Structure 1
Amino acid sequence: MTGEAARKQSRLVCRKAEVLDGEMRALRHDAGTRMVRSGLTPRDVTRQLGHGGSGTTRP
């Protein structure tokens, strides 16, 4: 799946679930925090969240 297709699917799912953009950001932040706390490296979390560089993901 391309990045654009994933974003489109995500928007569709969020709209159906009535999840707002701000809530989605909070969910992503929570997911990243949980990944780091469970022992994943910042590099692995960066890949999972689709960040452009590891500078976005801070331990």
Structure 2
Amino acid sequence: MVKLNWVAGGWNTPYTFKGVPHSVNFDSLESLMETMSKGEWVTDSKGNRIDIDLRGICLK
């Protein structure tokens, strides 16, 4: 099992959830990667898209 973790804080996050840690469980890294390939992306602080090696990051 692997977990995707994040801290809520986006523009559409209700005030009561801002800064609150969240996580979602996945059965495998492959199932996480499959979910993340449905249109999500990572951006830097300036809004530039970043390509990441999710497998490499998660296996460290």
More strand by share: 2
Higher CA-based Rg: 2
Task: Answer yes or no: same fold by TM over 0.5.
Answer: no
Q: Using CA pairs below 8 Å that are at least 6 residues apart, which structure has the higher relative contact order? A: 2
